[in-house]
Amino acid sequence: MVKRQAEESLEDPVAQNSPASKKARIHDVPEIRGHTNGFSTAPDALLPLSGEKWEEDERNGNDILAAADLEEEELEDVASPADDVDPLDEQSAYSATSRQQAPTEGYSDLYLDTINRSVLDFDFEKLCSVTLSNINVYACLVCGKYYQGRGPKSHAYFHALEVGHHVYVNMQTKRVYVLPEGYEVKSKSLDDIKFVVDPKLSKEEVAQLDKGAKDAWDLSGKKYTPGFVGMNNIKENDYFNVIIQALSHIPPLRNFFMLEDLSNRSELVQRFSVLVRKIWNTRAFKTHVSPHELLQQISRQSNKRFDLLQQSDPVEFLSWFLNNMHIALGGSKTKPGTSIIQRVFQGKLKIESQKITAKADAGDRLRFEEAAEVVVDTTRYLMLTLDLPAAPLFQDELEKNIIPQIPLTSILSKYDGLKAQEQMNTRKRYRLLHPLPPYLLFHIKRFSKNKFVTEHNPTIVTFPTRSLDMSPYVEPNPSIHSPGEPIWYDLVANVTHEAVRTRDDSVEGEAERKVWRVQVRDRARDEWLEIQDLYVQKIVTETLFTKESYLMVWERRKEVKGKGNQKIHSFAAEST
């Protein structure tokens, strides 16, 4: 078969009358603080970036136009004039864009009626819903979704064109823009949205949180009390919720994170500060908050030791959280009192140790021998562990010991300096030292592990909610505290545990699930509320001890003697 010859030689040079190549216009290119929109700033290389570079940057998630928004500069039209554009070429959104510096006269409130406040939820992590980037994120005020950037090639820009949602707020600067026009909206009607994004109260407002009992209402007209709102349990993060609720009701700690400027601190500190301010928000859109943003940061920082997908121990989380917050706030690992964490919780403890020898009486191995050497050591603590006596295996004849009870003062005797405990081949005695911290954390140890299972002690601890005297457990020091005078502490928060039986496919047939709740005191109304995730309800003060207390927060009462009478107030009054 004979091949058909080519009509023209493939090796012939290109015809001389071919159309001239288009040249990039390099004049009238707006400079943006040392760089231009898509152009190199070198004097000898004022050439446009190639299309391959644009595509590569977008594949890598590097939106050049979105990055330009970080400087808060307006993007200008850099397309060639009509006489240089081939009519057969398709115009991109970038080349056809015309940005406005201000709204058209008489239309300053255009599109503001499309804002839907009922769908806005700023509690979740600020990530673009397309690229999952946390840089230069904008929230659509019509549907509530997050998008990166607002330039003509950004995802927020195309969302405005495709769906018709035109109003966006920058999650960092709180500035509101209209897209695709690109101008900023400055209207007082948007102040409530800006406040919900990052609520900030004045010093006078914070000082009134524990004094004036004021209710608030959300968008749906539901009444709530600021500071006593529910918290989302996304999956298994109720252990986290109870600790954050308890810490947010410690006035010195709460006031610090609500009033101090922490913009130069780590993400852990900033996100905890935002969550505390949202719990005490007096102008919230809804009656609950979500800890998603702080949980994500904690999950990354703890290498997923604490996250929202699996249950953890609240005391273990509290210990990790306080130590990491102390370091993040610039605290020292050796010098005490270098952060608000240590100034609120840290105290000193004396430990006496003695070896158990063969001469020890088998019936009383814990009695300190006078002739044996006693080693005295001093250490610092943020939390005190209280041990429960072993629960009885059988009921007594009257069936009264189904669930045993023990007073709080009995398990506090561990720190009286007289009662010794055995650890390996050593007996130890503990005693607190002056000065006691403003707030005491008690961990009632209910769980112990052996080689096979984790044992749970259901013993009920009875306690008063006010006037707990800690003087019997403190080493006398006349220079700091007069001997014989009581040291009163009042209960602030109480984290409780409940074991719930659930069905299981294992051999045993059922498993035990842990449910965590927190009981907090409303200082303004002098009443107690119990919070379990989204549920907030009042509770009778006399029934607080009927549940299994696991973590207790006690506040030291400061006594000031006046003329003819004695005025008593707590450290919370001085926290502001």
Q: Whole-prediction pTM value?
A: 0.77
Q: Which strand (E) or helix (H) includes residue 251?
A: helix 251-259
Task: Report the chain's terminal Cα–Cα distance, integer Å.
Answer: 99
Residues with Cβ within 8 Å of residue 317, at least 6 apart in sequence: 239, 240, 243, 306
What fold does the segment set 57-80+91-198 form as a domain?
A: Herpes Virus-1 (3.30.40)
Average pLDDT over residues 87-108: 52
CA geometry: angle 460, 461, 462, nearest 5 deg: 115
Calpha distance 516→499 (Å, rounded) = 9
- Residue bearing the bigger pLDDT, 463 or 400: 463
198: left (phi > 0), else alpha (psi -120 to 50), else beta? beta
Q: Which of 161-175, 389-403, 464-478, 482-496 is predicted with the least confidence, judged by mean pLDDT?
A: 389-403
Quick one: how many helices (H) and strands (E) in the chain? 12, 28
Calpha distance 574→576 (Å, rounded) = 6
Residues with Cβ within 8 Å of residue 185, at least 6 apart in sequence: 103, 108, 112, 167, 176, 177, 178
Q: pLDDT tens digits for 158-209? A: 999 999 999 999 999 999 999 888 888 988 899 999 999 989 999 999 998 8
Q: pLDDT tens digits for 502-546? A: 765 554 546 678 899 999 999 988 899 999 999 999 999 888 988
Calpha distance 530→526 (Å, rounded) = 14
Structure-token match 């590569």, residue found: 56
Residue 22 above 50 pLDDT? no
- pLDDT class for 96, splitting at 50, 70, 90? very low
Residue 35 above 50 pLDDT? no
What are the extents of the domains in the chain?
57-80+91-198, 203-327, 346-574
Residues 494 and 552: beta-carbon distance below 8 Å: yes
Residue 109 above 70 pLDDT? yes
Superfamily of domain 346-574: Cysteine proteinases (3.90.70.10)
pLDDT at 506: 52
Residues with Cβ within 8 Å of residue 372, at least 6 apart in sequence: 354, 355, 357
Residue 559 above 80 pLDDT? no
Which residue(s) pair with 518 in the sheet? 495, 531
pLDDT at 560: 57
CATH topology match: 203-327 vs 346-574: yes
Residues 137 and 197: beta-carbon distance below 8 Å: no
pLDDT at 48: 40
Residues 369 and 354: beta-carbon distance below 8 Å: yes
Superfamily of domain 203-327: Cysteine proteinases (3.90.70.10)
Calpha distance 49→56 (Å, rounded) = 11
pLDDT at 513: 84
- pLDDT class for 374, splitting at 50, 70, 90? confident
Calpha distance 185→299 (Å, rounded) = 37
Q: Which of 106-120, 168-182, 440-454, 485-499 is predicted with the least confidence, judged by mean pLDDT?
A: 106-120
pLDDT at 5: 55
8-state DSSP, 210: T
Residue 287 above 50 pLDDT? yes
Helix spans in 117-249 (H): 155-163, 191-197, 203-207, 238-247
pLDDT at 191: 92
What is the pLDDT of the chain when averaged over all its residues?
79
3-state secondary structure of 108: coil
- List the structure tokens of 436: 């006691």
Calpha distance 183→189 (Å, rounded) = 17
Residue 220 above 90 pLDDT? no
